[in-house]
Amino acid sequence: MRSPHRFALLSLVALVVSAAAPAQDDVGLQLSQALLEDAFVAPIHDGGDTRPDYGVWATGRSYKVSFHGGMRFHPVLGAAASRGWPLGWRTVEVSFGGETVDTKRAPDFVHDDWRAEYRYGGFTEVYDVRPEGVEQTFVIHERPRRIGDLVVRGAIVSDLVADPRQPRHAPLAFRIPNGSDVVSYGEVTAVDARGARFPMLTAFDGESVTLRLGADAVARAAFPLTVDPLLATVLLNSSTAIVDGASVVHSRVGSRLIVVYTRETTAGAFDIYGRVFDTDFQNGVLVFADADEFTSYSNPSVTVVGGSPVRWVAAFEAEILGNPTPFRIAYHVQDVNDLVLDSTVSFLPQNTGTSRRRPSAGGSDEDGGSPIAFIVCEEEGNNAMNANTPSTGIRGVLLNTSTGVTTETLNLVNPAGSIDRESPDLNQKTAGGAEPWVVVWQEQDGSAPGDDWDVRAALCSTTGFVGLDGSEILGETGIAKHNVRPKVDGRLGRYMVTYSTLANSGGPSSAMSSLTLRAHQFDWSVSSPSPTGRAEFLVRSAAVQLKNADLSFDAGTDGHWVNITDALSAGFGGGLFVDRMNKQGMAESAAIAPALQVATPYGITYDSENERQAIVYSEPDEQPLRGVVMTLPAPPFPTFLGSGCGTPTATIGTVGHALAGSRDLFIRMTGGPAMSPVGLFISRGSLSTPLDSIGFPGCNLEVDGGPPYLLTVPGTTDGSGTRAVPFSVPPAMTGLLFFQFAYIIPSMPTPTLGMTNGMQVMFTL
C-alpha cells in the first residue's frame, strides 16, 4: 500500500497534459436558429424634437413610404436600381355626379403607428401600412346630395410610367422607363357600411389616375363608403431582401440582444434599423429606424456601455445622397430598457477635407460603470472625397454617452505619407474602469516595393492613447503573405485576432477574402509595451474563398473565442462556419446550414447570462434576417468518490467550466471549519486508501498518491468554511483528473483531520 505520508513531501509539479486534439466538424456545438420576421417593417414615425426635418416615414418588406407633403411610395429595388423610383399621389378631385365633395384646401394630417390620415371636409384619405404594401382608402362620410357617378382622381407624381388606358376593373402597373414593372396600383373596390362590395373602374391618362363607381351602385350603397386600392412593390429580386450589414450585442441589463442592421434600398443607398430581442432572438421590438431618403447609413457596429442608465451605442457610416460631401461617422445612443422607437442620429466631429468610413464600436461591461464608448474608423485626407487612397489612416474617438462629449485619442493618419491603414476593429466590451481596448488594423507601406498587408495593434483606454506595438504582431515574418480583414476580441489582458491570409503577388491587394483563415492569441496588459504569450495557428482552409466576418470572446470560460466565417462560392454567399478556439488552437467547428444554401454572416456576441454565443446572418429571402444561438454542450458532471470524514464533513465541487483553456474553473470545498488550514490533492489517478492505520479512523484517501499524483495546493478556509482554488486549465488538456480536500478540524486537546469526498472531473475541448 502506498503511504499517504507522501502528500506532506510532494512538491508542486508541472501539470502534464495530453496532446492537442485536431479540430473536428459538427462535434458538439448546439445551434438553434430563429427567423427574425419582418425585420424591415417599421411603423409610422417622425424624427422627434431633435430632427424636425426628418419627415414622416414607415417601411415594409419591399418598400418605404413618406407622408410629409403628401404620400410618396418608394419601392425597394436593391442594388439592381441605380436610383430611387418613388411614386407620389396628390388628390385632385372627389365628386358625385360632377359635384365636388366639400374639401379643405389643406387637410389635417394625423397618424398612429400603422395608419396615416389626411382629413378633408367631406372625406378622409387614409393609408394603412401593411408588411406587403400600403393600403390607400378614401372614406366618404355622408351620402351626397346629388346621386351620380363617384369619381376619385389623383395626380401621379413620379418618373415611373404606365400605359394610358380606358376605365376597367384591374390593377395598374407602373414601370421604370424601358424597364420592369415596379409598383402595382391594385384593382379598386368600394365597400359600404353594410359590407356590400362594388367593383370600381380605374383609368389612367398618363398623368392622373381616375377611379369611378357608377351612379346605380352609389344609390344602393350605405354610407360611409370606402374606396380601397392597394399599393405594392412588384419587383422582388434577390437584392431587395438581403440585409446589407448587421451587428449584435448582448446586454445583461434587460436580458436583451440588440441588433442593428441595414438594407440597400437602391444602389448605394441604405436604411438602418435597430431591434431589441430576448436572448433567444424572440419578441423583437423596433427601437431605432432611419428611412430618410436623403441620407444613407451603412457598416453598423453596436456595443453597450455601463453607467446609469446602461445604454447601447451604434456607430455607422453616413453619406448625404446626391451631394458630394465627405462620408461621416454617425451614431445612435439609447437606454437598453427604452423600447420606444427613436430616430435620433448624431455625428462625430471631423476635420474639413477628410472623410471617415467603416466604424467599429467598443463599450464596456454593464457593471463596469463607465459610460464611455470608443469608436475607431478609417480616415481619408487631402479632400479625397470618399475615394480609397493609398494613405488611409485610422482615427479613434471617445464618446461620453452621458454628456455627448467626444475626444479624439487615436491618430494614425498621414495623408501625405505612404503608410496605408485600413479595416480597423476593436474588442466589443472591456471589463470597464481603466481597462483599455485593443485596436487592430491592416497596414501596408507603399514606399517598400512589394510590401504585404500586416496586422498591427494599439491599446487605447478611456483616458486616451496607451501604447502602440511597433512590430508586426501577426503574420509572416517576410512579405510572402497578405494578412487582411482582422477581427479582435477579448478582455482583461487576453485577446485573439483572426484574419484571412493570401499570397502576396507583388504589392497592394484589395482582396478581403482568401482560402485560409488564421488566428493569433496574445496577452497584453497596460503595463506591457507589447503583446506577450503569443500563439498563432490555422483556423480553417477551404477550396473556396473565406471572408472573415466576426469574432467573440467567451467571457464565461475566460479562455475561448468563437469566429464566424463566410465561405464564398462563385461570387455568392456559400455557407456560414462557426469555429471555437482556445490558445492552443481549434476546439471544434460547425456549419450553419442555410435554407437556401446561401448565407452571409455579420455579427456575433457573447451572452453572459446564458453562457452562449448569439449570431446574426442573412439569407436572400422575403424574411432575410436570421439569428442563431450557439450553446456549448454541457461538460460531464463530476463523479464523486467516497463519503468524506470528520465533523464537520465538508464537500467538494466545481464552479466554472471543465474545458481545455478555461480560466474560470474553481475547485471548491464548502462546509468546512472556518479559518482552518486546508490542502487540495490533485492526481491523474484514483485509489481508495483507508487511513485508519495512521490514526484517522473512517477517512479514505480517494486520489492515487503514487506516480499519477501531481500536486498539493495548500491554503486556508474563509470565515464560512469555504476554500475555492482557481484552476486555470491548460489549452491542450483533456481527460480525467481527481481531486480531494483535506483540512484541519480545530479541537481540544488535539486537532484532527477531516476530508471531503473525492471527485473525478472529465476535461473536454
pLDDT of residue 14: 21
Average pLDDT over residues 287-313: 95
Query: Do residues 506 and 388 both lie within one domain?
Result: yes
pLDDT of residue 722: 96
pLDDT of residue 622 exceeding 80, the answer is no
Asked if residue 11 is part of any domain, the answer here is yes
Backbone angles phi, psi at 217, to 5 degrees: -65, -40
Asked if residue 568 is part of any domain, the answer here is no
Average pLDDT over residues 197-201: 96
pLDDT of residue 400: 95
Residue ending a domain, among 508, 525, 560, is: 560
Residue ending a domain, among 560, 595, 616, is: 560
Asked if residue 571 is part of any domain, the answer here is no
Query: Do residues 221 and 332 both lie within one domain?
Result: no
User: Could you report the per-residue pLDDT of 237-267, keeping only the tens digit for each?
Assistant: 334 457 889 999 999 999 999 999 999 999 8
642 by Cβ neighbours in 10 Å (0-12 / 13-18 / 19+) ranks as middle
pLDDT of residue 75 exceeding 80, the answer is yes
Average pLDDT over residues 125-139: 94
| Domain coverage including residue 13 | 6-27+635-763
pLDDT of residue 416: 61
User: Could you report the per-residue pLDDT of 362-412, keeping only the tens digit for each?
Assistant: 999 988 778 999 999 999 876 656 678 888 899 999 999 999 999 998 888
Asked if residue 572 is part of any domain, the answer here is no
Long-range contacts of 11-14 (CB under 8 A, 24+ apart): 11/711, 12/711, 12/712, 12/713, 13/710, 13/711
Query: Do residues 510 and 642 both lie within one domain?
Result: no
pLDDT of residue 21: 27
User: Could you report the per-residue pLDDT of 409-446, keeping only the tens digit for each?
Assistant: 888 877 667 889 999 999 999 998 888 999 999 999 88
Contacts of 12 (CB under 8 A, 6+ apart): 711, 712, 713
Highest mean pLDDT among 88-92, 623-627, 695-699: 88-92
pLDDT of residue 475 exceeding 90, the answer is no
Query: Do residues 260 and 228 both lie within one domain?
Result: no
Average pLDDT over residues 664-678: 92
pTM of the predicted model as reported, rounded to 2 decimal places: 0.86
- Which segments within 206-320 are labelled E, that is strand? 208-213, 225-228, 230-233, 243-251, 256-266, 269-277, 285-290, 295-305, 311-320
Query: Do residues 221 and 274 both lie within one domain?
Result: no
Query: Do residues 254 and 228 both lie within one domain?
Result: no
Q: Which CATH number characterizes residue 253's domain?
A: 2.120.10
Range from 121-130, 149-158, 458-467, 487-496 carrying the lowest mean pLDDT: 458-467
Of residues 14 and 118, the one with the higher pLDDT is 118
Asked if residue 575 is part of any domain, the answer here is no
pLDDT of residue 20: 23
Which pLDDT band holds residue 621 (cuts at 50, 70, 90)? Answer: confident
Asked if residue 424 is part of any domain, the answer here is yes
Range from 37-51, 313-327, 411-425, 674-688 carrying the lowest mean pLDDT: 411-425
Of residues 439 and 662, the one with the higher pLDDT is 439
Residue ending a domain, among 538, 560, 582, is: 560
Asked if residue 583 is part of any domain, the answer here is no
Query: Do residues 555 and 660 both lie within one domain?
Result: no
Q: Which CATH number characterizes residue 742's domain?
A: 2.60.40
pLDDT of residue 584: 76
pLDDT of residue 524 exceeding 80, the answer is yes
Query: Do residues 295 and 434 both lie within one domain?
Result: yes
Task: Tell me the pLDDT of the chain averaged across its residues.
Answer: 86
pLDDT of residue 544: 77
Query: Do residues 124 and 214 both lie within one domain?
Result: yes
Range from 38-47, 315-324, 410-419 carrying the lowest mean pLDDT: 410-419
Total of domains in the chain: 3
DSSP string of 42-107? EEEEE-TTT-TTS-EEEE-SSEEEE-TTSEEEEE--BTT-SS---EEEEEEEEEETTEEPP--SS-
Which pLDDT band holds residue 594 (cuts at 50, 70, 90)? Answer: low
User: Could you report the per-residue pLDDT of 8-20, keeping only the tens digit for each?
Assistant: 322 222 221 122 2
User: Could you report the per-residue pLDDT of 672-702, keeping only the tens digit for each?
Assistant: 999 999 999 999 999 999 988 887 888 999 9
pLDDT of residue 6: 31
Burial 324-336, CB ≥16 within 10 A → b, else e: eebbbbbbbbbbb
Of residues 67 and 573, the one with the higher pLDDT is 67
Query: Do residues 493 and 433 both lie within one domain?
Result: yes
CA torsion angle 462 465 467 468 (round to 10): 120
Q: Is the CB of residue 646 less than 8 Å from the CB of residue 753? A: yes
Asked if residue 220 is part of any domain, the answer here is yes
pLDDT of residue 589 exceeding 90, the answer is no
Query: Do residues 300 and 417 both lie within one domain?
Result: yes
Query: Do residues 128 and 18 both lie within one domain?
Result: no
Highest mean pLDDT among 205-214, 451-460, 558-567, 750-759: 205-214
